[in-house]
Amino acid sequence: MSEHDEDGYSGPATLEVDGVSLSTTVELRGYFQPIDGFYRWYGRVAVNDELTRLAGGKKKAVSIQAGAYSATGELSDPDPWGRYRITGTSTPPFHVPTTLEELNA
């Protein structure tokens, strides 16, 4: 594993924005930042008209559930194709290997 390998998840997820649950698809990546000791995760949310209506092109707090994993994060403004960026710090909404056995599997 190189210094820049990243963990990630691509697939279905449920977002909660302003108390509204939305089913969507996400592409997520993450890495441990040794300088400050935090795990940082980030990615894109597939185009979703309801999300666009709720977020209105602005930053929003979000909860995300992807299978058995969940986290809180922040949506930022959408890209030119209407996909919102999602970011978070600490425990990500996907599995991260925590043992050498998992890393070498």
Whether 1 is covered by a domain: the verdict is no
| Structural domain that includes position 74 | 7-104
Q: How many CB atoms lie within 10 A of CB 75?
A: 21
Whether 2 is covered by a domain: the verdict is no
- Residue 36 has a pLDDT of 94
**Domain count within the chain:** 1
- Which segments within the chain are labelled E, that is strand? 7-17, 20-33, 38-45, 60-66, 69-78, 84-89
Whether 44 is covered by a domain: the verdict is yes
Q: How many CB atoms lie within 10 A of CB 7?
A: 16
Check if the beta carbon of residue 105 is closer than 8 Å to that of residue 95.
no
Q: Give, for all 105 residues of the chain, the pLDDT tens digit.
A: 344 456 899 999 999 999 999 999 999 999 999 999 999 999 999 999 999 999 999 999 999 999 999 999 999 999 999 999 999 999 999 998 888 887 777
- Residue 5 has a pLDDT of 57
